[in-house]
Amino acid sequence: MGSSDRSKKRTHLWKKALLHFALCFVTGFFTGFAPTSTASLFSRHDASIRPATADSFNRSLMAEIPAETPAASERLGPATAHSSVNRSLMVETPAETPAASERLERGSERQLIVVTTTQSGDRLQGPLLRRLADTLKLVPPPLLWVVVQARAAAPETAEVLRRTGVVYRHLTFDANFTDPAAEADHQRNVALNHIEYHRLTGIVHFAGASNVYDLRFFQEMRQIEGFGAWPVALVSANRKRVVVEGPICNSSKVVGWLFRDLASDKIGLGSLLTDADMKAKPPRINISGFAFNSSILWDPERWGRATSVPDTSQDSIKFVREVLLEDETKLKGIPADCSKIMLWHLYIPRATNLPSHHQIQNASR
Q: Is residue 157 part of a domain?
A: yes
At 14, which amino acid appears? W
**β strands within 207-342, DSSP E:** 211-213, 227-229, 232-236, 241-250, 253-261, 278-279, 290-293, 331-333
Task: State the Cα–Cα distance between residues 328 and 324, nearest whole angstrom.
Answer: 7
Its pTM surpasses 0.95:
no
Under a CB-based contact definition with an 8 Å cutoff, are residues 245 and 273 in contact? Answer: no
**How confident is the model over 120-133, as a mean pLDDT?**
90
| 77 occurs within a structural domain | yes
Work out the average pLDDT over 236-261.
85
How many domains is the chain built from?
A: 1
Average pLDDT of the chain?
73
Listed residue (167, 164, 163, 162) closest to 145, CA to CA: 167
pLDDT at 84 over 80: no
Per residue in 304-326, pLDDT (tens digit) is 655 544 444 458 888 888 888 88
Q: How far are the Cα atoms of 54, 55, 125, 207, 292 from residue 43, in angstroms, in the given order?
A: 16, 19, 48, 44, 41
Q: End-to-end CA distance of the chain, in Å? A: 104
pLDDT of residue 228: 95
Does a structural domain hold residue 89? yes
Measured distance CA(352)–CA(39) in Å, rounded: 66
Rounded average pLDDT over 181-204: 96
**Is the separation of the CB atoms in 107 and 140 below 8 Å?**
no
> Does 216 fall in a domain?
yes
Question: Which of 80-89, 239-248, 287-296 shows the highest mean pLDDT?
Answer: 287-296
Element holding 344 (H helix, E strand): strand 343-347
Please tell me the predicted confidence (pLDDT) of residue 54.
33
- Is residue 172 exposed (0-12), middle (13-18) or buried (19+ Cβ within 10 Å)? buried
DSSP 283: S
Residue 100 is assigned to a structural domain of this protein = yes
Residue 209 has pLDDT above 50, yes or no: yes
Percent of the chain surpassing pLDDT 70: 62
- Give the pLDDT mean for 109-123: 91
**Of 277 and 106, the one with more pLDDT:** 277
How high is the pLDDT of residue 22? 77
Whole domain around residue 193: which residue ranges? Answer: 66-225+284-328
How many CB atoms are located within 10 Å of the residue 152 CB? 11
Residue 144 has φ and ψ, to the nearest 5°, of -125, 125
Does residue 348 carry a pLDDT above 60?
A: yes
* Maximum mean pLDDT: which of 47-61, 114-128, 189-203, 305-319: 189-203
Could you report the per-residue pLDDT of 147-186, keeping only the tens digit for each?
Answer: 999 999 899 899 999 999 999 999 999 999 999 999 999 9
The answer as to whether 166 is a domain residue is yes
CATH number at 313 reads 3.90.550.10
Per-residue confidence (pLDDT) for residue 353, from 0 to 100: 54
* Strand intervals (E) in 51-125: 112-117
**Res 267 pLDDT > 50:** no
Residue 92 lies in a domain: yes
